[in-house]
Structure 1
Amino acid sequence: MTVSTAADLDLADPLAAHRDLFVGTETPLVYLDGNSLGRPLRTTSERLRAFVEEEWGGRLIRDWDERWMDLPEVLGDAIGAQILGASTGQTIVGDSTTVLLYKLMRAAVALQSRHPGRTEIVMDRDNFPTDRYVADGIARECGLTLRWIEVDPAAGVTAEQLAEVVGEQTALVSLSHVAYRSAWIADGGELTRIAHEAGALVLWDLSHSAGSVPLALDDWDVDLAVGCTYKYLNGGPGSPAFAFVAERLLDDVVQPIQGWLGAADPFLMGPTYHPADGIRRILSGTPPVVGMLALQDMLQLLSRVGMDAVREKSIGRTTYAVDRAREVLPEVALASPAEASLRGGHVTFTHPLMREVTAALWQRDVIPDYRDPHGLRLGLSPLSTSYDEVERGLQEVREVLDSLG
């Protein structure tokens, strides 16, 4: 493989033209952190302007009745259909990922309290810190025990590992579908089946999956899921997360943050709380309308392209990065699955100097991410990252490593 291969691959890429739809792709900056914050779409500038001048500025409070109040469910259904493999009425947008994790974990524990022997939450030690912190707090709050799965940080939770720890004591299994460090793709269907056979509920964190890896929550019989929208869904910094609750659980789910927007009749302003029917009961406060604007543009783009095409392109990008790193960076270790089918939309390489390398790369307008221990993480957002960008980034890593001696 040669450097010129990147240009050839970009020319042959049937989705290459979509890169021009994103702000900043015309500059020499190399952006390899799309799994932390996706680039904005150019059309979002016009959407923001129109929102300020026409909706917020023109319709003012009337737009709550005309459009805004329904946005959490409208966008939730779009995410469900296009991204999650979920039928309507099970997904809603609102709150941060952390808050939604707390709501759904706490709701799952409450559902399982009908079975007094179920006293454990199962989670792996390499799960994203927020997931672990929230679970730890809920365990202390509810008098439960955390049961940890020890995993290879360059891989993730396997079916065999989960089967060893779940049983009649398990209330909830909480896992990430794509590991934030290694990009390991968990077997969503099989792990859910194993947990269900033990009588446990399952909560999936889809933050590194949504918009990068096709999902099938209905087919997998998933109970609960959350995910953020500012990575591969390009919703912008702090854009609200989404929550999924299987239809069969909606009548029984009691979420712990009872706010007026999750009430059956928000404008009744009554003395007591009665939850809304369906997925709307997961809401608490006023929907973050401004934070949903950019998300709408990316969902429209993904609906045209399709997740299968996105996944094919993602595999091409990460495979190119892995293959070229073997040639350009032979002293660097791969800390992600070598097999493309087991790898999500990012890839991680380790070397003792990667913290220093990352800092130096940022000074050169090459933007990857750093994750301990010694990990350089390349988030290759499928529609906005070119092969040439990957190639230039790896060549810069080579130069920086050489300069550091």
Structure 2
Amino acid sequence: MPATPPLTDLRHAEALDRADPLAAYRAEFLGAEGPLVYFDGNSLGRPLARTSRRLAEFVEQDWGGRLIRGWDERWFDQPLTLGDALGRVVLGAGPGQTAVGDSTTVLLYKLARAAVDVQLARDPRRTELVVDTDNFPTDRYLAEGIAGERGLSLRWIEVDRTAGVTAGQLADVLGPATGLVLLSHVAYRSGFIADAPGLTRMAHEAGAMVLWDLSHSVGSVPLALDDWGADLAVGCTYKYLNGGPGSPAFGYVAARLQPALTQPIPGWMGHAEPFTMGPGYAPAAGMRRFLSGTPPIVGMVAMQDMLTLIEAAGMPAIREKSLALTDYALALADAWLAPLDVEVASPRDPSVRGGHVTLRHAAMQEVTSRLWARDVIPDYRDPGGLRVGLSPLSTSFTELWQGMGAVRDELARLR
């Protein structure tokens, strides 16, 4: 029998691609078969070839052909029907609990404000909002803004930037004053996966609610919001859901909470009778009450194709491919980059590692700039972190091998 090539050999990567049951999906993505190496699918996913056709059809037929009739025929309910599809395919959420519309920032604000307001109404002592020091900046900024608006105190969890929030850290800040806990399921810097069901249960036992930011996990890590007993969740759709630049976010509100929550940006689309356009605001029943203005229908077009692809591939298989990619990235980092003083700033334990790996070195910002100039596209996060974002359906093992070799070469040139 021929000897197995070492993992640093191109033949090893090619063998992994031949054995990959999801390899055929790569051909669905525009540009994936070209020479460019893309390590940023965790920030902006590649477009699907079919999406360019769908967008053209939408302009010519749905918009150009149906015109204003499109609202009555489909668009009015599109935030809710697409939300239900997201719930079924990637969120582990039953129907009637997810809606699409607004940016991630706006939806985080709406649901966080609604949560702290209902908590204060139930118990005026619930004046603390918990957030960790390494949460995504928007989440932290919003927490500060809402605390200022509502006269709340922030409880900060100091976390290891190579990991994330643990049960022990959360236990240290929970108490009778805790109203809302705002956490990311996958840490944007390290890729650490928080114990969502466990942390949710802890918060509930303390009488608090939890708002999960799913932006770096949805479409890459299997989710089970209903099974977790989740309260609220928000996530973007332009990363692993490939909705395109600025595609609208989604919000999840557990059915048991919907009647009690009042979202802080009332608009005509969330009114119980939007077309009466009369005096006074009366919120609609269900998830429609969390809508505000006219939904961004064009921005919802692209993600429908990706949901179809994800459903066909299956989230368990996608997660298995994601782990295989990050395992290989770590193996190449150990072989090629550790001798160049690169540190792995992500979990090695696959059970708590999401879809990206961060490699840390003082020269990584310069390395990232050099890589972009040669069509190898990672991204950079302080301090000294180069993120290798691997989208399972569009990234091959050979592409990963090529990109990691380029990182090695550029670092070596700077020594």
- Per the TM superposition, whether the score is higher than 0.5 is yes
The aligned residue for residue 37 of structure 2 is: 30
Deviation of the 1:303 alpha carbon: 1.0
Task: Return the alpha-carbon distance in structure 1 between the equivalents of residues 124 and 32 of structure 2.
Answer: 55
Deviation of the 1:337 alpha carbon: 0.2
1:392 and 2:402 aligned:
yes
- 1:202 alignment partner AA: V
Pairing partner for 1:374 from 359, 378, 384: 384
Deviations 1:322-355 (A, max 9, x none): 0111001112100000111110000100000000
The aligned residue for residue 89 of structure 1 is: 96
1:342 and 2:349 aligned:
no
The aligned residue for residue 268 of structure 2 is: 260
Task: Return the alpha-carbon distance in structure 2 between the equivalents of residues 208 and 260 of structure 1.
Answer: 31
Deviation of the 1:113 alpha carbon: 1.0
Contact 2:39–2:389 (Cα < 8 Å) also in 1 = yes
Deviations 1:99-143 (A, max 9, x none): 000000000011101201111000100000000000100000000
How is 1:284-363 mapped onto 2 (pairs within 5 angstroms)? 284-330=292-338, 331-363=341-373
Find the residue that maps to 1:251 and give its secondary structure: helix
Task: Return the alpha-carbon distance in structure 2 between the equivalents of residues 48 and 204 of structure 1.
Answer: 31
Deviation of the 1:70 alpha carbon: 1.0
Pairing partner for 2:248 from 240, 250, 256: 240
Task: Return the alpha-carbon distance in structure 2 between the equivalents of residues 52 and 215 of structure 1.
Answer: 33
Task: Return the alpha-carbon distance in structure 1 between the equivalents of residues 408 and 310 of structure 2.
Answer: 34
1:204 and 2:212 aligned:
yes
Deviations 1:243-290 (A, max 9, x none): 000000011110000000000011010111100000110000011011
Deviation of the 1:2 alpha carbon: 2.9
The aligned residue for residue 12 of structure 2 is: 5
Task: Return the alpha-carbon distance in structure 1 between the equivalents of residues 296 and 267 of structure 2.
Answer: 14
Deviations 1:22-57 (A, max 9, x none): 000121000000000000000001101100111110
Task: Return the alpha-carbon distance in structure 2 between the equivalents of residues 189 and 322 of structure 1.
Answer: 27
1:60 and 2:81 aligned:
no
The aligned residue for residue 187 of structure 2 is: 179
Task: Return the alpha-carbon distance in structure 2 between the equivalents of residues 271 and 354 of structure 1.
Answer: 57
1:76 and 2:86 aligned:
no
| Same amino acid, percent of matched pairs | 66
The aligned residue for residue 112 of structure 1 is: 119
Deviations 1:68-119 (A, max 9, x none): 1111001100111111111000000000000000000000011101201111
Find the residue that maps to 1:376 and give its secondary structure: strand
Task: Return the alpha-carbon distance in structure 1 between the equivalents of residues 129 and 384 of structure 2.
Answer: 30
Task: Return the alpha-carbon distance in structure 2 between the equivalents of residues 348 and 28 of structure 1.
Answer: 23
Task: Return the alpha-carbon distance in structure 2 between the equivalents of residues 292 and 86 of structure 1.
Answer: 19
- Which sections of structure 1, spanning at least 5 residues, go unmatched? none
Task: Return the alpha-carbon distance in structure 2 between the equivalents of residues 159 and 81 of structure 1.
Answer: 28
Task: Return the alpha-carbon distance in structure 2 between the equivalents of residues 12 and 268 of structure 1.
Answer: 59
Task: Return the alpha-carbon distance in structure 1 between the equivalents of residues 261 and 335 of structure 2.
Answer: 52
Deviation of the 1:403 alpha carbon: 1.2
Task: Return the alpha-carbon distance in structure 2 between the equivalents of residues 375 and 241 of structure 1.
Answer: 26
Task: Return the alpha-carbon distance in structure 2 between the equivalents of residues 381 and 190 of structure 1.
Answer: 27
Find the residue that maps to 1:389 and give its secondary structure: helix
Find the residue that maps to 1:385 and give its secondary structure: coil
Displacement over 4 Å in runs of 4+: none
Deviation of the 1:398 alpha carbon: 1.0
Task: Return the alpha-carbon distance in structure 2 between the equivalents of residues 128 and 358 of structure 1.
Answer: 21
Task: Return the alpha-carbon distance in structure 2 between the equivalents of residues 226 and 21 of structure 1.
Answer: 27
Per the normalisation by structure 2, the TM-score is: 0.97
Deviations 1:171-207 (A, max 9, x none): 0000000000000000000000000000000000000
Task: Return the alpha-carbon distance in structure 2 between the equivalents of residues 110 and 30 of structure 1.
Answer: 46
Task: Return the alpha-carbon distance in structure 2 between the equivalents of residues 198 and 95 of structure 1.
Answer: 31
Task: Return the alpha-carbon distance in structure 1 between the equivalents of residues 135 and 278 of structure 2.
Answer: 41
What is the root-mean-square deviation in Å for CA atoms of aligned residues? 0.6
How is 1:224-239 mapped onto 2 (pairs within 5 angstroms)? 224-239=232-247
1:39 and 2:46 aligned:
yes
1:124 and 2:124 aligned:
no
Find the residue that maps to 2:252 and give its secondary structure: strand
Query: How many residues align structurally?
Result: 405
Contact 2:120–2:126 (Cα < 8 Å) also in 1 = yes
Per the normalisation by structure 1, the TM-score is: 0.99
